[in-house]
Structure 1
Amino acid sequence: MKWARSVVTPVVGVVVFLAVWESFVRAFDIRRFVLTAPTEILSELLDDPNAYWSNTLVTAQHLAGGLLISVSVSLVVGSVMAASRYIEEATAPVLIIILVTPWVAYINSVVIWLGFNDRPIIFMVAFTSFPLLTFGVVTGMKSADPAARELFASVDASRWEVLWRLRLPSALPTVLTTARFAVALGLGAAYFSEGASSGLRGLGVIGRRAALDQTRGAEVLWTTIFCTAALGISGLVALSLVEKTALRWHASQRD
């Protein structure tokens, strides 16, 4: 019963949201480029589902590749920062600068630097999500139980054992929570970077071309936005499944 409710309730919420969206567009006669009705988006999607599916997969690959790099680097950097207060205080301002700088402003520079291919897209995904994930790693590792740390110290455990058996498990809840925001940041970076890279595939490429099309560009543009949102939701669902599997021991996963 609880499982059915957890599935049905979000579906009902989405249906109501789409119904309100459709009614709003129809009632106020909103221009297509400003806001396209969900039924028109669905019609466009059904006209050529294979094209949107294949390009969504390309964007998903860019997102996954960038996030994988970002998680790997942030675990290394975050571990070093958590182990040294001096390094943390020296590194944190740099990460904050990266985090608050509007990355949309320098996408074109990155594309010119790395070339008109997949590399600038993956780089932008990794670069934009890296500070957020690193702060999550640092916060999680520093929140390790003090009593457990004293126990490891009493048995003269090595730094590697403390990291692997205590700090990393303690950081997992925070890292997975932070990863939800990193997915959103990385997805935006992937979409805009695809458009800036002038590649041949990806939702961002289709969206940029559609923005210049005055005939049926509105439907295409909003369909790419819809597909991007669906991709983001899929990523968050996948993270939830990972969280339930990896954090069975954690209080947040207990009924």
Structure 2
Amino acid sequence: MKKSFDQFLNTKAASIILPAATIILSIVLWQVGVRLFNVPRFILPAPTEIIAAMNQWSQVIMRHSLITVGSTVLAFTLALVGGVLLGSIIGSSRLAYLSLYPLLVGFNTIPKVALVPLLAIWFGLGLIPAVITAFLLAFFPIAVNVAVGLETVETEMRDVLRSLGASAWEIFIKVGLPHSMPYLFASLKVSISSAFVGSVISETVASNGGLGYLIVSASSSFDVPLAFAGLIALGIMGILLYTFFAALERYVLAWRQ
């Protein structure tokens, strides 16, 4: 019996059934707990009340979701391009590593939420502060992972290619870039979540649109079911984007399987 169960855990069906069962069980316990202890809706609404709010405010949630997705995807795209370029420079050059990497680490230690008020002063409310905040959170993991991937290429392999007449660019394209791809895709799944966090942080402080703005507005009016509906929308979008990059990783890096 245990052997059969272990075999089931290794199947694709288990990766779908078990999370779904966990979610359903959690929702049932949540619903029963709220009703049993008579928790006020402005403290913790029942799942049925959140679903009702999602139906009632579906168009509003969709409009704000598109704003958040737009700023997140734009920031993530810029972070991907910039992170790959800077990571390639740092990973390929000892001079660049010694000069730029400490500055990159130091800047990353600054809490990005502390920059949002300044961004609001410089650029006003709206899209630009959200994109910049999301970019700053998503950029660092990509740059660092690409740099690590290039730096860990075996020295012997570089020496062999140089002895065969390969240029630095050819070594980067044929060895360095493929070697860094697993590191890059590992960072993408982290960065897309960080980009969402950055967008929402900025929207709660320096925006008049987006799910972060919607959650703050709903909370200020004690419409907690609507705030939870915004949180669920954020979770769904984050899962979808994470799943997309996980599937893309399995496709691009099929040779690792």
Give runs of aligned pairs for residues 103-122 of structure 1, distance below 5 A: 103-122=112-131
Specify every segment of 5 or more residues in structure 2 that has no aligned partner in the other structure, as ranges: 1-7
For residues 7-53 of structure 1, what are the alpha-carbon distances to aligned partners after superposition, in whole Å with 9 as ceiling and x for unaligned? Answer: 22222222223333334444444454544332221111112323212
Q: Which amino acid aligns with 2:88?
A: S
CA distance in structure 1 between the partners assigned to 2:38 and 2:165 by the alignment: 71
* Structure with bigger gyration radius: 2
Partner SS state of residue 249, structure 1: helix
Alpha-carbon spacing, 1:27–1:198, altered in 2? closer, same or farther (3 Å):
same
Partner SS state of residue 10, structure 1: helix
For residues 139-159 of structure 1, what are the alpha-carbon distances to aligned partners after superposition, in whole Å with 9 as ceiling and x for unaligned? Answer: 111222444323322222122
1:212 equivalent in alignment to 2:220 = yes
Report if aligned partners of 1:74, 1:131 keep a CA contact under 8 Å in 2: yes
Q: What is aligned with 1:89? A: 98
For residues 127-185 of structure 1, what are the alpha-carbon distances to aligned partners after superposition, in whole Å with 9 as ceiling and x for unaligned? Answer: 12211211111111122244432332222212222222211111111111122221222
Query: Which stretch of the first structure deviates more once superposed, 87-96 or 56-65?
Result: 87-96
Q: What is aligned with 1:123? A: 132
CA distance in structure 1 between the partners assigned to 2:110 and 2:246 by the alignment: 29
1:233 equivalent in alignment to 2:239 = yes
Aligned residue among 41, 48, 70 for 1:39: 48
Shift of 1:100: 2.2
Alpha-carbon spacing, 1:32–1:149, altered in 2? closer, same or farther (3 Å):
farther
Query: Which stretch of the first structure deviates more once superposed, 114-123 or 12-21?
Result: 12-21
Q: Which amino acid aligns with 1:218?
A: V
Report if aligned partners of 1:63, 1:187 keep a CA contact under 8 Å in 2: yes
Aligned residue among 111, 128, 138 for 1:102: 111
1:151 equivalent in alignment to 2:152 = no
Shift of 1:94: 2.0
Report if aligned partners of 1:98, 1:128 keep a CA contact under 8 Å in 2: no
Shift of 1:78: 0.7
CA distance in structure 1 between the partners assigned to 2:158 and 2:27 by the alignment: 50
Q: Which amino acid aligns with 1:17?
A: S
Q: What is aligned with 2:230? A: 224
Q: What is aligned with 2:178? A: 169
Partner SS state of residue 5, structure 1: helix
1:245 equivalent in alignment to 2:251 = yes
Partner SS state of residue 75, structure 1: helix
CA distance in structure 2 between the partners assigned to 1:174 and 1:25 by the alignment: 44
CA distance in structure 1 between the partners assigned to 2:37 and 2:252 by the alignment: 47
Alpha-carbon spacing, 1:139–1:30, altered in 2? closer, same or farther (3 Å):
farther
Q: What is aligned with 1:77? A: 86
Alpha-carbon spacing, 1:184–1:92, altered in 2? closer, same or farther (3 Å):
same
CA distance in structure 1 between the partners assigned to 2:41 and 2:107 by the alignment: 35
Tell me how large the CA RMSD over aligned residues is: 2.1
Q: Which amino acid aligns with 1:235?
A: L
For this pair of structures, how many residues does the alignment match?
248
Alpha-carbon spacing, 1:22–1:162, altered in 2? closer, same or farther (3 Å):
farther
Report if aligned partners of 1:98, 1:131 keep a CA contact under 8 Å in 2: no
Q: Which amino acid aligns with 2:194?
A: L
Q: What is aligned with 1:198? A: 207
Partner SS state of residue 165, structure 2: coil
Q: What is aligned with 2:3? A: none
CA distance in structure 1 between the partners assigned to 2:27 and 2:101 by the alignment: 41
Q: What is aligned with 2:14? A: 5
CA distance in structure 2 between the partners assigned to 1:112 and 1:41 by the alignment: 35
CA distance in structure 2 between the partners assigned to 1:21 and 1:223 by the alignment: 15
Quick one: percent identity of the two aligned structures?
Answer: 22
Q: Which amino acid aligns with 1:6?
A: S
Shift of 1:76: 1.0
Report if aligned partners of 2:112, 2:136 keep a CA contact under 8 Å in 1: no
Partner SS state of residue 116, structure 1: coil
